Amino acid sequence: MRPLIYSITILSSLLCVGPVLANETQSHEVQPLLNLQVEPTVLPVGISNISLSQSDALANQQQSDRAVYAQFEEGNDGRPDDAPPSVSNQKLPSGPPNNVSNPNADFLLIGIGVGITADYAGADNYDFLPVPQFLGRFKGVGFISRGPGIAFDFIPDKPGAKIDYILGPQFRFRFDRNNSDNIEDAQVAALEELDTAVELGVSAGFQVNRLLHKFDNVTVWVDALWDVAGAHGGAIISPAVTYSTPLSTGIVARLSTGITYASDDFVDTYSSINAANGLASGLPQFQGESGIRDVNGSLLMAFDLDGDVRNGGWSIFALGNYSRLLGDTADSPIVTETGSANQFFGALGIGYSF
């Protein structure tokens, strides 16, 4: 796994952290960027949307992109056969990337980024927040920071495989509207503060490698999380699809899209307004029910600073995510009266592989 890959990971995590820290996020994006790797290492990046799609869509996204350059064959001129034009036009170093023969080797990547995200799901006010991240593998088990939490991948990768599988547990905290002092809108700040949710669940999916050429991949996965602390007592399920490809030996791009389903208890906690909250805030009473909570999409660009994603060192990334709130989440007065159903998330970061 190289820095460029890591940048993607941070980005995915940011997607997940954004709205989560901002108080709501999951993505898909964010999940997926994680496995945009030079070496065939597969980790779930399930981005739960930043609004889960922005929250975790970045992640959330988080699941993911894999080994973009993991397998390649050298031509006489040192270039991989069948590489996309922008890659074929550049001479690649001879020999495979480090650890390509052992995609399950131990490693650790660290990084830091800064994101801008909504105060809470449905808000039209935005805040900046720092996001430290980590990513690694130890004794065959992959792990990655996911929002304020962690996700694991227990399925080892197989060098040269056409299809890789992703499966592992995850947990995270959800801080949505748990501190009224951090909410700019006076009416929403007047609502009862919510407890911090502790969510446990699983991330599962598969990745098809070498779809259009030797270095791209498509990842399909789903994140499922349940609150075990009684904060909302519900569940959130986020399927997503991601396409990843190198644009050159030093630039990787990832495009992802997904949806988020929220249970009755989840929507009731974060979108409903009872008589007491209506009186305190001046917002009309509202009862939310389960359904599709949002659709989302994101674009991630990662740049290796020495122009070669395979040799380690420093890399930077830029990510943009958009999610559209739907159903009762979008119909809640928290959104219609004081906020917006259009949710945005952006992030910049730097990572280092060692």
Give the pLDDT of residue 119. Answer: 92
Which tokens belong to 45?
A: 């990046």
Rounded mean pLDDT of 316-342?
96
Which of 296, 204, 207, 205 has the alpha carbon at shortest distance from 257? 296
Which pTM was predicted? Answer: 0.76
Domains and CATH numbers, the chain: 3-353 (2.40.230.20)
Which tokens belong to 295?
A: 């659709």
Rounded mean pLDDT of 143-166?
88
Rounded mean pLDDT of 43-52?
34
What CA–CA distance (Å, rounded) separates 150 from 133? 10
Provide the percentage of residues in the chain whose pLDDT is more than 90. 55
pLDDT band at residue 7 using 50, 70 and 90 as cut-offs: very low
Residue owning tokens 């088990």:
141
pLDDT digits (tens, 9 = 90+) for 142-154: 898 877 889 999 9
Rounded mean pLDDT of 126-147?
85
Residue 68 clears pLDDT 60, i.e. is over it:
no
Tell me the pLDDT of the chain averaged across its residues.
77
Give the pLDDT of residue 102. Answer: 64
Taking the CA atoms of residue 275, residue 276, residue 281 and residue 284 in that order, the dihedral angle to the nearest 10 degrees is 0
Contact 20, 64 (CB under 8 A): no
* Rounded alpha-carbon distances, angstroms, from residue 203 to 89, 166, 176: 38, 7, 22
Where is average pLDDT lowest: 76-80, 124-128, 291-295?
A: 76-80
Rounded mean pLDDT of 340-345?
96
Give the pLDDT of residue 21. Answer: 34
Name the more confident of 140 and 70.
140
Give the pLDDT of residue 288. Answer: 96
**Facing residues of 170 across strands?**
151, 201
**Facing residues of 256 across strands?**
242, 298
Taking the CA atoms of residue 63, residue 299, residue 49 and residue 66 in that order, the dihedral angle to the nearest 10 degrees is 0
Give the pLDDT of residue 354. Answer: 67
Residue 42 clears pLDDT 80, i.e. is over it:
no
Which tokens belong to 69?
A: 């350059």
Which tokens belong to 218?
A: 């498509």
- Which amino acid does the sequence have at 266? F
pLDDT digits (tens, 9 = 90+) for 86-112: 444 444 333 334 444 466 678 888 888
Strands 342-353 and 217-227: unpaired
